[in-house]
Structure 1
């Protein structure tokens, strides 16, 4: 098998080119048309001065331009940095700075998101590499940078030959939680993306004539992108939501007889709540779900009773989503657990006892370590973090706790450390704490996650300076700088944090902070 067999280009099946690859808002895009759009986008990127090794930040909702930009960048040897549409100024600035993006492709507007206002809070000096913005849906937006219109599909640009595919160079950067301010950038190559997509198509036994996908997860994250690429590799039709809403999702599931969908437990909960039909989606075969909210077991049981089979799975930005999934033959209790069976026959996983450092036996919890064709290249421009994340024999230290089942599958149990799962995303407390500590009146801050009315939210504890800050002012400041799901539901002023002495120094008792947060909320 040659290196070219692992290029993104070869994921697009050439037989039956007239068949739809995507359906956006009821409009079909055939495989032949998708190929054409990739060529147009590559020519447009080249006309903007983008070539091998250059980084293009993509800040778009789910649209054909997003996918065309990724495949076109691969054709040129360029790199796409995926920007979460829920990001705000501090997060956007960090991603642009670390990636060194020269060009950002951005929405003119989408629903309530004011992209121009967010960018206005990013100083040019913070992101020295960025040269211009390309706007989808308008000629320009108010910005510090020159703007051009993304008109790849409307205007003819000189075609460019494919660069000799080096399938092991970075082509896509995801963001993932860091332990300090700002997320790290996870670099994937065409080989890691394409080989895993092929594994997903094979493991799920996808038939292009029978199967279809409702893509309701954002393309900017590995969960949305991996499922997308897997169905592209299978040649199956993909119905796309620009952003998740339960009502349109329900309508597509019913009318288009969708067979597969992937999302969070909350997404499926909202969809089911819209219909009283006893078995509303008889064509659905697999709903792969990530459990982020309390009560997910009860949801899975309700969904099962109504014919919607939920399948637990596992993944991360570093090894990609859909690394593993439960099997149809698993007992219900096993099928809904996170973890499952690896998609790739070449994937390996093991569990290491976090106390002894030895490999754990079946049934013993420890840190999950993974070696697989889907494993990332490393953290972009961060060799130290990459070195710390990979064992000497090439396994990725996931930071997740789980156990081996003994039958070839594993169970994901929880996230190690203090990372929080908020709004469906993994968030490091330090990222929010650093923003709080930059606010006037804040001497120090700690952030913990709690269950607030059935939803995971964060609560902040702040040690004030002499001029104590007002919670409303802090909340307003954070709303300007961070995605909404990272803004604390409560901010409490304290004189000191609970601590404990250890052999390695004084440690903050984060478990005690969580208890304090719940006690104060209950008292309200």
Structure 2
């Protein structure tokens, strides 16, 4: 059990909170309609600034057309577009109708889209057909057939500066219409307690769930994040993660809540993103260490002036967050904080305050961003609530927690404790009231010689070797039934790491029982790219480890 400590509080929001999601944009426009709120990328890569007034007008026009199409309370609209300002327009316009959005990643395959159609039953699909050469329309046709559901109405979205599309060409059986430019009446008050947005979960066990949240929760979280991070109207926030995922979505919402500028990246090309960060003086970045690693490698190839980069929130997916945080601090003076979140409790639910010392500030977890969020740690087996400093399952309660699972009403019963706390499935340690350290997913923890070990501890040691680019450690059952730690590493370019040398490297710094039984050098890691970043597939590595052992 670790000793509890005092974690500094986050700054809190002051001033009135918008009445509902559409009111967030309406207030921005009333304050300064000419101020830029987002920067799109045109077909030729040129920057296309969007003012607050333009965003308000587009939301009003679309909300009017959605009303004409009969979209109302409780309806679902699927938004299958990249990081364009259109994604923001659809979110706020749909919320104005007391309906909700389900974001669809442009990488989704037919089976994944069919799953969304079955569970969410969207009446309308906003479709970026032809984006980046992708035939999303054909995927949608196949998904409708596979899902065996009533075909939705399709609305083609040409994107910033794109040519108008013929609605008849995208009809998959439910009809189609195109968004008409023009004016509409300013949206009136909507129900802030209506569902507003849903995100797909990681789907680590079976097909993903669709975790839905109320508009009031989205709004309160955006305002709290903006205040806790310290975003201001003078700032520019990088929006490189897909807005269809919870990390990209909550980052953009925090930027809007602060009145900052969203730098929208519909395609992630590390060099182009660095160019935009330099040109627009980006101040805030949120992403996984996979995203930061690609930025770091592109910057090493051609440095840019990123001196405006003030804060970085990082989720550790590949064991590289600490070295990347050190790079950003040394080169640009950037303060990095480990963050925590999920589709079911929102991204940026917690992170370490700016005055928390390094390197602890780089760990996952942190202090929750608003007082209404409660967190506790419980024994995963007995469900006993544990004291500060004890390791157990992180459980949450508050306005950030999932309100419904689309198409799966029984899922809530499995996701919550008898007394109403959400099971995160994550191991963590409560270090202060409202502050915790994330350890790992419960299924990834290793029981070695009777001790519960976070594989990241071994991965950090391996990744510190000069010949190692990436490391991942998994556990398999040995012949005696005990867990064996098996490591996989990808070498640096032109390096040839020696497995036994790497085991000796671990033994020089780790307890003997933490030294991996075997180290396998592989050309590349098996990965899965989702809406929140690229993660290493631990299940595939366990299969490889068992095959090698046998």
Query: Which interval holds the TM-score relative to the shorter structure?
Result: 0.7 to 0.9
| Aligned-residue offset at 1:180 | 5.4
Counterpart Cα distance in 1 of 2:536 and 2:319: 17
| 1:435-476 residue CA offsets vs partner (Å, 9 max, x unmatched) | xxxxxxxxxxxxxx9856379xxxxxxxxxxxxxxxxxxxxx
Counterpart Cα distance in 2 of 1:220 and 1:28: 21
1:287-306 correspondence to structure 2 within 5 Å: 287-306=312-331
Secondary structure of 2:31's counterpart equals coil
Among residues 129, 134, 152, which one is paired with 2:180 in the alignment? 152
Q: Is the 8 A contact 2:154 2:170 kept in 1?
A: no
Among residues 220, 235, 244, which one is paired with 1:220 in the alignment? 244
| Aligned-residue offset at 1:88 | 0.6
Task: Find the counterpart in structure 2 of residue 134 from structure 1.
Answer: 155
Task: Find the counterpart in structure 1 of residue 298 from structure 2.
Answer: 274
Among residues 41, 49, 70, which one is paired with 1:28 in the alignment? 49
Q: Is the 8 A contact 2:117 2:144 kept in 1?
A: no
Counterpart Cα distance in 1 of 2:487 and 2:117: 31
Secondary structure of 2:328's counterpart equals helix
Deviates more, 1:124-133 or 1:385-394: 124-133
Aligned Cα root-mean-square deviation (Å): 3.4
Secondary structure of 1:92's counterpart equals helix
| Aligned-residue offset at 1:316 | 0.9
Secondary structure of 1:66's counterpart equals helix
For structure 1, the 5+ residue unaligned runs are 420-448, 456-481, 491-509
Counterpart Cα distance in 1 of 2:393 and 2:73: 37
Deviates more, 1:64-73 or 1:325-334: 325-334
Q: Is the 8 A contact 1:313 1:324 kept in 2?
A: yes
Task: Find the counterpart in structure 1 of residue 544 from structure 2.
Answer: 517
Among residues 383, 388, 393, which one is paired with 1:362 in the alignment? 388
Counterpart Cα distance in 2 of 1:145 and 1:452: 49
| Aligned-residue offset at 1:365 | 1.4
| 1:401-430 residue CA offsets vs partner (Å, 9 max, x unmatched) | 1111237521111112369xxxxxxxxxxx
Question: Residues 489 and 296 of structure 1: is their aligned pair in 2 closer, same or farther, counting only changes over 3 Å?
Answer: closer
Secondary structure of 1:57's counterpart equals strand
Work out whether 1:104 is the aligned partner of 2:125.
yes
Work out whether 1:265 is the aligned partner of 2:289.
yes
Task: Find the counterpart in structure 2 of residue 19 from structure 1.
Answer: 35
| Aligned-residue offset at 1:185 | 1.0
Q: Is the 8 A contact 1:214 1:261 kept in 2?
A: yes
| 1:230-273 residue CA offsets vs partner (Å, 9 max, x unmatched) | 11111111111113221121011112111101111111111122
Counterpart Cα distance in 2 of 1:208 and 1:489: 37
1:433-472 correspondence to structure 2 within 5 Å: 451=488, 453=490
For structure 2, the 5+ residue unaligned runs are 1-13, 42-46, 159-164, 446-485, 493-528
Secondary structure of 1:410's counterpart equals strand
Q: Is the 8 A contact 1:450 1:517 kept in 2?
A: no
1:267-346 correspondence to structure 2 within 5 Å: 267-276=291-300, 280-307=305-332, 308-346=334-372
| Aligned-residue offset at 1:521 | 6.8
- How many residues were matched structurally? 444
Deviates more, 1:235-244 or 1:223-232: 235-244
Deviates more, 1:287-296 or 1:314-323: 287-296
Among residues 261, 264, 278, which one is paired with 1:237 in the alignment? 261
Q: Is the 8 A contact 2:127 2:137 kept in 1?
A: no
Question: Residues 146 and 414 of structure 1: is their aligned pair in 2 closer, same or farther, counting only changes over 3 Å?
Answer: same
| Aligned-residue offset at 1:485 | 12
Deviates more, 1:192-201 or 1:397-406: 397-406
Among residues 443, 447, 454, which one is paired with 1:417 in the alignment? 443
Q: Is the 8 A contact 1:264 1:290 kept in 2?
A: yes
- Per the normalisation by structure 1, the TM-score is 0.77
